[in-house]
Amino acid sequence: MSERILTPARRAAIAPFLAMDVMREAAQLRREGRDIIQMEVGVPFAGPPRRAREAAIAALDGRPISYTDALGLPSLRARIARHYRDAYGVSVEPERVCVTTGSSGGFIMAFLALFDAGARVAINCPSYPCYRNILGAFDVETVELRGVSGVTPEQVEAADDGQKLDGLLLMNPSNPTGALQSDESMRAIAAVCEKRGIKFISDEIYHGLTYERPAQTALAWSRNAVIVNSFSKYYCMTGWRVGWLVVPDGFSRVIERLQQSLAISPPTLAQIAAEAAFDATDELEAVKAGYARNRAILLDALGGMGLDLAPADGAFYVYADISRFSENSLEFSKALLEQAGVAATPGVDFDPTQGHRALRFSYAGAEADMIEAMRRVKVFLGR
């Protein structure tokens, strides 16, 4: 008998999410007593808004926290639909809203619902690594559209001409670069997808976190777009694991059938808190103002160290070209953590071919930490 009877399935052979690996290493160093400033993951420094906390506490009054409908609390679905009218001037019926276990659960449901094994889905590069990893686990091929500042409609057309795309997935604003597509480019991209029958998924998880101009939802240009969003970033509720999809007319039942078996329902307590978070705008805008100050600190400091920086229009990241100091972002990030006590994510997490030249810094932390981190990075670089 073989000594090894458990072998991983082929679909499990996906790349690690390096940001989470760095986070684990940073946490270990902190447990050992090291003073570590964590800039590797996009975790807001603020806790969930007061209204969300109070709603969750009130729900814990002895009543059972039971399952909800597979697609979420009807009241939360209606509140999300209202959000599209209030924030974007776009009409969304509550029936098109599907509450999910974070945006990650939303991606899993959307990918399973939209793509068969062997499909081709275009993604921006550099981009959030879990796109590639989840799609790979489902035997879906990813086609890279390279662009630090975003994607053009011409790139989408060329990729479709060359390889026949089944889908396009864009994050706007982008992780890791923070780049925000223009409304004109998004409108044109939506039109290309409509004309060519390409399924368009718009990841809008960082909406609310832009600094020069607001982001518009892709629903403004296409009712066939699938929208992914979450309460993790703007609403400061990362660990609560609640997100949502907006899907085309008649498609909710497809998501519902999947979610019934794969998740039963999203977390009930998190949904109750999330609904209340919509009424915490003043508190959340104050948190955003802190990000804006942090953004200015990083752009000024890193630019002053001679690093080339990607557009940081939104989200809470700065993507920096470190090639004048290193051509190995993985080793560079390890040295920065060990020697300077600053955790940052190597660019190869987001771009397997050219990310060895880049590093991503999250500025979602406290302002004092951002100032100290930039001092440490400057010393580390000898600048």
Structural domains for the chain: 13-42+282-381 (3.90.1150.10), 51-278 (3.40.640.10)
d(CA 251, CA 44): 33
- The residues near 130 (Cβ < 8 Å, ≥ 6 apart) are 17, 104, 107
> Bridge partners of 113?
none
Q: What confidence score (pLDDT) does residue 12 get?
A: 85
Q: How far apart are CA 76 and CA 65, in angstroms?
A: 16
Q: What's the CA gap between 332 and 26, in Å, rounded? A: 15
How far apart CA 111 and CA 133 sit, in angstroms, is 12
Cα 325 to Cα 206: distance, rounded to the nearest angstrom? 30
Please, what's the largest Cα pairwise distance for the chain?
A: 65
Distance separating alpha carbons of residues 232 and 239, to the nearest angstrom? 7
**Mean pLDDT, contiguous 10-residue spans, the chain (383 residues):** 74 86 93 96 94 96 91 98 98 98 97 98 96 96 95 98 96 97 97 98 98 96 97 97 97 98 97 98 98 98 95 97 95 96 96 96 97 98 88
Rounded to the nearest angstrom, the gap between the alpha carbon of residue 363 and the centroid of all alpha carbons in its chain is: 15
CA distances from 124 to 72, 78, 168, 209, 277 (A): 30, 32, 9, 20, 31
Phi, psi of 296 (to 5 degrees): -65, -40
Report yes or no: 120 and 141 within 8 Å, Cβ to Cβ.
Answer: yes
Cα–Cα distance for residue pair 123/197, rounded to 1 Å: 16
Q: Which two tokens stand for residue 61?
A: 């009054």
Is the dihedral angle over the CA atoms 68, 103, 364, 19 positive or is it negative? positive
| pLDDT of the residue at 2 | 55
Give the three-state DSSP class for 107: helix
